[in-house]
């Protein structure tokens, strides 16, 4: 089996971050979302992975390299503009050949993995096996309608009146039968080759198409609140570790990771919290539910339920909560009199807040 990971797209719902970085590299507990996808694929026993990239190809290839760090081999395939998920399959056809493969959207978080579903697919090898998840409002998703045996009888994209609460969540297992389906469909009204149309074509041809329900935590990290939710979920599983320096005037409470080279001075850290390598925390109250990446500086600041990306600085901010702070951002004091701030800050930005 091979894998096809989709890492193109413009990420409009994650602006301003997606103006300066691919959404798949947004960090959750200081690790890009895309790395979690690669680890789930590796855990299937799959080592040959093609990653579809667009305009952010240099950043993605720099972050992932050749895949050896994850125990896999990565081939990068360029999609010049978003033409649909099925177009990605067509683009990858020379790489995929006639092999079975898993297609995985690189901005999806499935922390409990997909090994059981992968074993189901390998055991019965339907033409396609979809991964679905029950959602409260299916109208925002592609929806699968199943019969009593778990066979897919129909698919609908963002239906006004859903006939099921089972949403497609961006992981698909295919045999080579999908290639004939992709070749048979036409672009949709929005000018894209839709993977739901290709799967529906298989259903119409009488091919076996099945769905497996993923019952663990799942999130499409397409919006800031979703990223923060994922961060809280993953922080809940950290193993405490202090490799940096914590002075005698600081207090560490609960599960906290302090990476090598980090310094905590006269501060209170309430876990779960991760503090990245070579970051400096002075006279701060940090946590709970905070990830701070490497090479950051925080002084005289209170911060909770937030993500701070690498090389950011936050100085004299009395109350920051539910925030995403971008790479190299600088947040400092202001004279405007506000007492509380909530920020979604893009890369290389300076924001003035109440001192």
Domain ranges, residue 6: 2-234
Residues 214 and 289 reside in one and the same domain: no
Task: Using alpha carbons, select from 237, 267, 142 the residue that is nearest to residue 195.
Answer: 142
Taking 70 as the threshold, does the pLDDT of residue 15 lie above it?
Answer: no
Question: pLDDT-derived band of residue 20, with 50, 70 and 90 as boundaries?
Answer: low
Residues 157 and 242 reside in one and the same domain: no
Last residue of one domain, picked from the residues 192, 217, 234: 234
Asked if 162 and 138 touch (Cβ cutoff 8 Å), the reply is: yes
Taking 90 as the threshold, does the pLDDT of residue 162 lie above it?
Answer: no
Residues 154 and 166 reside in one and the same domain: yes
Residues 328 and 310 reside in one and the same domain: yes
Tell me the C-alpha distance between 30 and 106, whole Å.
16
**Given this model, what pLDDT does residue 350 score?**
59
Count structural domains, the chain.
2
Look at 159 and 50; give whichever has higher pLDDT: 50
Of the listed ranges 38-52, 110-124, 216-230, the least confidently predicted one is: 216-230
Residues 125 and 148 reside in one and the same domain: yes
Question: pLDDT-derived band of residue 56, with 50, 70 and 90 as boundaries?
Answer: confident
Residues 103 and 58 reside in one and the same domain: yes
Look-up: residue for tokens 């961060």? 231
Q: State the pairing for strand pair 166-174/128-134.
A: antiparallel
Last residue of one domain, picked from the residues 208, 234, 260: 234
**Strand (E) or helix (H) holding 198:** helix 195-204
Taking 80 as the threshold, does the pLDDT of residue 30 lie above it?
Answer: yes
Express each pLDDT in 203-242 by its tens digit: 999 999 999 999 999 988 877 888 999 999 999 999 999 9
Taking 90 as the threshold, does the pLDDT of residue 114 lie above it?
Answer: yes
Q: In sequence order, which residues have a C-beta less than 8 Å from that of residue 123 and are 6 or more positions away?
A: none
Taking 60 as the threshold, does the pLDDT of residue 252 lie above it?
Answer: yes
Residues 242 and 229 reside in one and the same domain: no
Taking 70 as the threshold, does the pLDDT of residue 352 lie above it?
Answer: no
């Amino acid at each position: 089996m091979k894998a096809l990971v989709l890492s193109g797209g413009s990420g409009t719902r994650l602006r301003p971050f997606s103006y300066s970085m691919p959404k798949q590299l947004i960090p959750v507990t200081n690790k890009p979302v895309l790395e979690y996808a690669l680890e789930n694929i590796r855990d299937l026993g799959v080592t040959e992975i093609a990653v579809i990239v667009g305009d952010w190809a240099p950043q993605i290839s720099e972050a992932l390299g050749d895949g050896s760090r994850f125990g896999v081999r990565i081939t990068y395939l360029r999609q010049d503009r978003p033409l649909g998920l099925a177009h990605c399959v067509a683009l990858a056809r020379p790489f995929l050949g006639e092999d079975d493969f898993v297609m995985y959207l690189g901005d999806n978080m499935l922390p409990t993995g997909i090994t059981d579903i992968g074993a189901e697919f390998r055991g019965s090898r339907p033409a396609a096996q979809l991964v679905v998840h029950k959602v409260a409002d299916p109208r925002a998703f592609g929806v699968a309608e199943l019969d009593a045996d778990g066979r897919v009888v129909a698919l609908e994209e963002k239906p006004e009146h859903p006939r099921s609460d089972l949403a497609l969540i961006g992981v698909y297992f295919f045999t080579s039968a999908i290639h004939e389906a992709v070749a048979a469909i036409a672009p949709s009204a929005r000018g894209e080759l839709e993977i739901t149309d290709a799967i529906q074509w298989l259903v119409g041809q009488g091919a076996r198409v099945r769905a497996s329900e993923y019952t663990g935590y799942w999130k499409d990290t397409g919006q800031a609140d979703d990223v923060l939710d994922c961060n809280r979920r993953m922080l809940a599983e950290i193993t405490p570790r202090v490799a940096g320096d914590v002075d005698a005037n600081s207090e560490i409470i609960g599960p906290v990771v302090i990476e090598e080279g980090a310094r905590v001075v006269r501060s209170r850290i309430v876990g779960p919290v991760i503090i990245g390598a070579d970051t400096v925390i002075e006279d701060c109250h940090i946590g709970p539910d905070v990830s701070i990446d490497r090479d950051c500086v925080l002084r005289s600041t209170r911060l909770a339920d937030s993500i701070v990306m690498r090389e950011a600085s936050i100085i004299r901010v009395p109350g920051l909560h539910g925030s995403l702070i971008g790479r190299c951002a600088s947040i400092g004091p202001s004279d405007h009199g506000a007492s509380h701030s909530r920020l979604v800050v893009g890369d290389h930005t300076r924001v003035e807040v109440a001192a």
